[in-house]
Structure 1
Amino acid sequence: MPIRNILRCLLLLCFLHLSYQGPIEVEIKNTIDEVYVNCRSNKNPGLVVAVVKDGQEVMTESFGVKDKISLEPVTKDTLFGLGGLSALFANVLFAKKSAAFDAINEDTTLRNLFGNNKIFKKSKLRSRYATTLDIMAHRLGIRNTPYLFLDETVTRGGPVIDRIANMRARGRFRDSMFYNEVLYSILTTIGERLGSDAWERLVDVEIYQPLGMNTANFTTIVSPSTTDIAQAYKDDEGTLYPVPHEFLKKWSRLCATTCVMSSVKDMAKFMKFLLGNGTIPGTSEILLSKKSHEDLFDAYNRLQNPSIEDYFLTIRGLPVSRTHFAYAQGIKKGIYNNERILESADDMFGYNTLLTLFPDHNLGIFIAMTGEDKDDLFRTALSSYISDLYLGKQAWLNATLLCSFPEPFMPAPPESTPKTHPEVPIGRNLEDFVGNYTSDIYGTASVVDENGNLKFIYGMGEFNLKREETESLKFNMFPTGLIEHLIPVDDLRFKEDPNTLQIESLRVDRFDGGVFTKESPPTTTTTTTTQAPVSAGGVAIPL
């Protein structure tokens, strides 16, 4: 073979190699490798990163292990729970299925969708005018009540609608931002009714399959024993504990903000769709109309004092700022380094995710990890570093700073220190507390005497009660059983009748002030919760 042909072949091979993984990708991978070894492997057993640019998948990398027992490496096909990023799929599904109905869109009122004029019993205004878009943009002014997910009787359709009906507004209608994932779950029921099938099957047929997301799945139906899944790990006082899949399956049963699982490879495909114009990437086939696709990213609610500004502002010492100013449909609008961004992040019991889109540059970055990432600091810093390189900006972060961030720019958030809870005598008969308690929002809970110790049981949640050193009837709630290490220690307060001094109610601090009224007669029998079946979906309530 002539020397000239050999040189041409060598140049072609070099070109093909660089087109697959260029200098930027090599630099990013080397940096993450160094960061992972030096400071993240003990905090994040598994980590994946995807980058798409100009309609191409330019980087999909995996780091670490699926679990700390087998030490099998994470792959590009390993599934991670997306948590709140599931809302993006819920919104796409609603837009796609509602397009088949002339009278249904995001501005259709919930009362018309459900044939219910009192869908919010505490608010005539919301009952009359609230729409699907109000749910998507969190404009109802109703504070989040995630502990409802502990109650397995709150299933899709009528049961969740019944609980939502009694929620009380804390903010102004369409003039406040109160993230509420339980309200968002209404989209699951609406999607199932519009599509006449289970939400998981609809997302699979309408989104996964057209986009070629061949490994994506759902926490509600996936089989961990036969599927490539990264084990979720939850941090509790500095130690990582594995999160039982049984818990994740039950917690995520309402799906719209919880149940989607994806690999880094499939999220690259989803990002290419989000950055497009509604067509299936690489084809002219329409998955979503151009208008419906654009509507996903319009600003529908304003954000005040976004948490990201606690660390990512120049006035706090950083070279550049990152902020969020508005909420679209399941994603925030903001600015980073003078560039427009669309961003969504979530933490769901040991799964931590971040998706960032730069629509003006056709750039998308997805990061997922297991373990701990307090205040989203590492994910956000890593996304900043990656985007700077692809946008041709001066990178202000490197391997050393990614490990130390937010230092040296500002003090790091204080480390969590284990709290001591001294043993305090209860001071009265245990029988006084034992019984069933009911709430119009939260349903039924019980307090039982278990071998001389009080236990609070709510759905799949069990908490050991220990009296605090106060004059009031305040108790610390220590999660145990299936939820041990997953939910922080909380406070429960019993209230006495001022005349009889009998226990009349209880209130859990994190239950958004929900009051449980004691029923009579009490019971001293130790109770166990009955596992309710996870809804298979389908028609739940009429439109």
Structure 2
Amino acid sequence: MRYVLRYFGAAFVLTNVRGAVFDGETEQDVVKLIQATLECRHVSGMTVGIIKENETWTHGFGMADLKSGRPVDGDTLFNIASVTKSFTMALLAILLKENKLHWKTTVSDILGSEYGFIDDYRTRETTLRDLLSHRTGLANPDIGFMAGFPPSLSREDMCKRMRYLPEQIPFRDSYIYNNYLYMLLGHVAEKLGGDTWENLLMSRIFVPLGMKSTKILKKTSDVLASDMAHPYIYKDNSFENSTLDIYELHPAEPAGAILSSAEDMVLYLQFVLSNGKTTTGDQLVDPMLFREAFSVALPVVRGDVTVSKPTFPVSDVVGGYGYGWFESSYDGYRAVWHRGTLWAYYSIAWLVPEQNIGIFISTNGGMFKDDQYTSLTTTLYYLADLLLDKEPWLNSSTACSFPEPWKKVYKADSRPPENSPFLPDISEYTGTYGNEFQPDVVVTVNGSSQTQLNFESGR
């Protein structure tokens, strides 16, 4: 891919010169806003990929490696986290067509009696559709991802432990986001495809789409590779290296372990917008199966689902979840999207299908601050307005103040005072907690403190 090193304001930016998504003046406005956003939101690096009709635009901003001074460009890899889920869905769609199955096929029909859930009814009735749309009602103990699972525990072993996940709400009653369901879907793909999820993704999606750089996060040191945006946190007014030990998702990689670039992701977004067809004209997915994946399988009531212009005070809105994609709206346009977070990495893939528009944004630092996620959303809003031929309601100033001036932000310390009569005897909560599904959690009192608890689990 050919890049030009252009000078915008006070910085050089690596620009992909292919396509004509923006004219020169608009491009300068985009670069100015994103650079201002990274600075005021304390984000170390950002990559942006856009597709509109058949034109693409990719940009790198900030630093991929602060120590060496290596900048982000369109080929820099970021962890896309839960955007991975849509790839697992697409892979399943390919394999279902070959095996003459459908989304309503039960998990037990594919995996057999060795696999099950907390009760016989779920074990018998749960379909691929139920897993894809997060409607099993099973708990999602994400502490296992932070604590880590034993290296000797295979994906197959872990999927057989799904029977120990407790019920949180009744089956098919409502939506509960659950990473482990996509781990199980990855294993279903392995059974149908006769190979590992990783190899199947490579041969059935990455290679046919021309995604030459994309790979899977397998070990923690992968995030420090020379083609990666390294992970950072912003602490005490400076960037620090993120804790390395936590960048491993074994054995739940199908839920969030893809490493990709803006250049590769625009190819993927084009594939999705084309209803499963590659740029060379190969129809990889049955269009009927793919279309169903983008229809709402379950309503979702959450305040952060609908992507829309801000109206305050913000109230809960009804959005929906399909198969690996949310569905909502932006200023009257139908939008499908998914975001992903893995510690220092925040990403979003966003589509306006009827207008053939796709946006991918990923960042590598600013962790533990709301600012990093806000940098994604304000950049998305600004780009969406431009691509929809609307006057942007954000600028370099308000992108940094958002949600102000529309909404006043209050930050309060929610901890009770030390002498509060409502403080419990926290020693009552100490002990070892766990089940057969995940590593034990050991809870202890923090030294002489009577108000703080420590927990330890796995690594």
What TM-score results when the alignment is normalised by the length of structure 2?
0.83
Quick one: which amino acid aligns to residue 314 of structure 1?
A: T
Aligned to 2:453: 476
How many angstroms does 1:184 deviate by? 1.9
Aligned to 2:198: 200
Aligned to 2:122: 126
Is the 8 Å Cα contact of residues 277 and 285 (structure 2) preserved in structure 1? yes
Structure 1 residue 145 corresponds to structure 2 residue 144: no
Quick one: which amino acid aligns to residue 385 of structure 1?
A: Y
Give the counterpart of 1:349 among 343, 348, 355: 343
Q: Could you give the per-residue CA deviations for residues 365-402 of structure 1, whole angstroms, max 9, x where no partner exists?
A: 11111113628322122111111111111211111111
Quick one: which amino acid aligns to residue 229 of structure 2?
A: A
Is the 8 Å Cα contact of residues 88 and 330 (structure 1) preserved in structure 2? yes
How many angstroms does 1:322 deviate by? 11
Aligned to 1:45: 44
Alignment gaps of 5+ in structure 1:
1-16, 448-455, 457-462, 480-507, 509-528, 532-543
Write the distance in 2 (CA, Å) between the matches of 1:352 and 1:34: 19
Aligned to 1:289: 286
Write the distance in 2 (CA, Å) between the matches of 1:48 and 1:352: 11
Aligned to 1:505: none
Is the 8 Å Cα contact of residues 305 and 319 (structure 2) preserved in structure 1? no
Aligned to 2:96: 98
Alignment gaps of 5+ in structure 2:
1-15, 420-424
Quick one: structure 1 residues 107 and 34, their matched pair in 2 at CA, closer, same or farther if it must change by over 3 Å? closer
Q: Could you give the per-residue CA deviations for residues 150-206 of structure 1, whole angstroms, max 9, x where no partner exists?
A: 242384444323432122222232220100102221012111222222211110111
Quick one: structure 1 residues 225 and 393, their matched pair in 2 at CA, closer, same or farther if it must change by over 3 Å? closer
Give the counterpart of 2:395 among 370, 392, 398: 398
Quick one: structure 1 residues 401 and 24, their matched pair in 2 at CA, closer, same or farther if it must change by over 3 Å? farther
How many angstroms does 1:105 deviate by? 2.6
Structure 1 residue 166 corresponds to structure 2 residue 143: no
Write the distance in 1 (CA, Å) between the matches of 2:175 and 2:336: 17
Is the 8 Å Cα contact of residues 214 and 266 (structure 1) preserved in structure 2? yes
Quick one: which amino acid aligns to residue 191 of structure 1?
A: A
Pairing 1:122-521 to 2, within 5 Å after superposition: 123-149=119-145, 150-153=147-150, 155-220=153-218, 223=222, 227-235=226-234, 240-248=239-247, 250-281=248-279, 283-308=280-305, 313-316=310-313, 325-372=319-366, 374=370, 376-412=373-409, 414=411, 439-444=435-440, 465-466=446-447, 468-469=449-450, 476-477=453-454
Quick one: structure 1 residues 160 and 38, their matched pair in 2 at CA, closer, same or farther if it must change by over 3 Å? closer
- State the percentage of identical aligned residues: 23
Matched residue SS, 1:183: helix
Quick one: which amino acid aligns to residue 116 of structure 2?
A: I
Aligned residues: CA RMSD:
3.4
Quick one: which amino acid aligns to residue 286 of structure 1?
A: Q
Write the distance in 1 (CA, Å) between the matches of 2:128 and 2:162: 14
Q: Could you give the per-residue CA deviations for residues 3-22 of structure 1, whole angstroms, max 9, x where no partner exists?
A: xxxxxxxxxxxxxx998446
Is the 8 Å Cα contact of residues 51 and 363 (structure 1) preserved in structure 2? yes
Aligned to 2:3: none
Is the 8 Å Cα contact of residues 35 and 400 (structure 1) preserved in structure 2? no
Q: Could you give the per-residue CA deviations for residues 281-305 of structure 1, whole angstroms, max 9, x where no partner exists?
A: 2x32111121122122111010113
Is the 8 Å Cα contact of residues 78 and 229 (structure 2) preserved in structure 1? yes
Is the 8 Å Cα contact of residues 76 and 265 (structure 1) preserved in structure 2? yes
Write the distance in 1 (CA, Å) between the matches of 2:294 and 2:426: 57
Write the distance in 1 (CA, Å) between the matches of 2:194 and 2:390: 49
Matched residue SS, 1:477: strand
Is the 8 Å Cα contact of residues 467 and 476 (structure 1) preserved in structure 2? no
Write the distance in 1 (CA, Å) between the matches of 2:25 and 2:159: 50
Give the counterpart of 2:82 among 73, 76, 84: 84
Quick one: structure 1 residues 311 and 377, their matched pair in 2 at CA, closer, same or farther if it must change by over 3 Å? farther
Matched residue SS, 2:207: helix
Quick one: structure 1 residues 226 and 142, their matched pair in 2 at CA, closer, same or farther if it must change by over 3 Å? closer
Quick one: which amino acid aligns to residue 454 of structure 2?
A: M
Q: How many residues end up aligned between the 2 structures?
A: 431
Quick one: which amino acid aligns to residue 284 of structure 2?
A: L
How many angstroms does 1:30 deviate by? 3.4
Quick one: which amino acid aligns to residue 127 of structure 1?
A: T
Quick one: structure 1 residues 465 and 49, their matched pair in 2 at CA, closer, same or farther if it must change by over 3 Å? same
Quick one: which amino acid aligns to residue 46 of structure 1?
A: G
Matched residue SS, 2:320: strand
Write the distance in 1 (CA, Å) between the matches of 2:426 and 2:191: 53
Is the 8 Å Cα contact of residues 24 and 390 (structure 1) preserved in structure 2? no
Is the 8 Å Cα contact of residues 78 and 259 (structure 2) preserved in structure 1? yes
Quick one: which amino acid aligns to residue 327 of structure 1?
A: Y
How many angstroms does 1:125 deviate by? 2.2
Aligned to 2:10: none
Quick one: which amino acid aligns to residue 440 of structure 1?
A: E
Write the distance in 2 (CA, Å) between the matches of 1:214 and 1:346: 21
Quick one: which amino acid aligns to residue 277 of structure 2?
A: T
Whose relative contact order is higher, 1 or 2, with alpha carbons under 8 Å and at least 6 apart?
2
Is the 8 Å Cα contact of residues 61 and 76 (structure 1) preserved in structure 2? yes
What TM-score results when the alignment is normalised by the length of structure 1?
0.71
Matched residue SS, 1:107: coil
Q: Could you give the per-residue CA deviations for residues 466-500 of structure 1, whole angstroms, max 9, x where no partner exists?
A: 45416xxxx52267xxxxxxxxxxxxxxxxxxxxx
Write the distance in 2 (CA, Å) between the matches of 1:166 and 1:83: 25
Write the distance in 2 (CA, Å) between the matches of 1:477 and 1:240: 26
